[in-house]
Structure 1
Amino acid sequence: MKFYLVVAICPADKQKEAVDAAKAAGATGATLISARGTGVKEAQTFFGLTLDKPQEMVVILAEESHRQKIMKAIYDSGDMIKPGNGICFSLPIDSVMGLESQMPILTEKVKKDE
């Protein structure tokens, strides 16, 4: 099996929708990481304090055949077509360890989708 790391960076108030959509699309789990960052538009400042919205990184290890479906589900659920609603991308993974408990589930999902 080939795996990809799907990463979605979204406003904190949209992370639950992103995770729920990813699971409905075939993700077997997700890791959430609080994040801060900058984009094309800079965060507003007020008396020298930066007012940026809290962000979450939703990180998912996805089997190749489910990657696009998971990404599309996250993109749609977060309304990411609108500015400021986040970004979703994937990276190839060379090797994975520690998936023994998930392999039967992943194998069954891949067979089902063939």
Structure 2
Amino acid sequence: MKFSALVAIVPEDLEQECIDAARDLGAGGMTVLSGRGISNTTRKTFFGLTYDGSQSVLLMVLERALSLEVLKALQKVVMPDPKDSQGLIFTVPLEHLGGIDMAQVEKFEQHLKDSL
């Protein structure tokens, strides 16, 4: 079985919706980190101060085929309009992996069997 790491950088207000979308597809656990985005254009706010926004970084280890399904579902959440993306999602193939819960591996295997 091949695995991928999925990284989703999303606005804080879309965090729970992204978590729910990933879980609905079979993503078991994930790590959620807080971040601060700095874009190429700054937004002016009150008294001339700039605010770039708080973001959440979701990290998941998924079976490779499942990672593509989750990526597509998260893309619908953060990019409902093709001209306006509110986040970034990407996967990275994993060559070596240790410490993953075997119950989660069994869920991935079942997902693969069900999708065939």
In the comparison of the two structures, how many residue pairs are matched? 114
Could you say which residue in structure 2 is the equivalent of 1:19?
A: 19
Amino acid at match of 2:90: F
CA displacement at 1:23 relative to structure 2:
1.3
CA contact (8 A) 1:5 1:91 kept: yes
CA displacement at 1:59 relative to structure 2:
1.0
Amino acid at match of 1:51: Y
Gaps of 5+ in 2: none
Could you say which residue in structure 2 is the equivalent of 1:97?
A: 98
How far apart, CA to CA, are the structure 2 residues paired with 1:82 and 1:55?
20
CA displacement at 1:40 relative to structure 2:
2.8
* Match for residue 111 of structure 2 among 86, 109, 112: 109
Q: Compare the two structures and name the one with the higher helix fraction.
A: 2
Describe the shift of the 1:64–1:93 C-alpha distance in structure 2 as closer, same or farther (beyond 3 A): same
CA displacement at 1:94 relative to structure 2:
1.2
Residues 9-18 or 84-93, more deviating: 84-93
State the TM-score, normalized to the length of structure 1: 0.85
Residues 23-32 or 10-19, more deviating: 23-32
Aligned-residue RMSD, C-alpha: 2.0
State the TM-score, normalized to the length of structure 2: 0.84
How far apart, CA to CA, are the structure 1 residues paired with 2:83 and 2:15?
16
Where 1:40 maps in the other structure, the secondary structure is: coil
CA displacement at 1:11 relative to structure 2:
0.5
> How much identity, in percent, do the aligned residues show?
32
Amino acid at match of 2:69: K
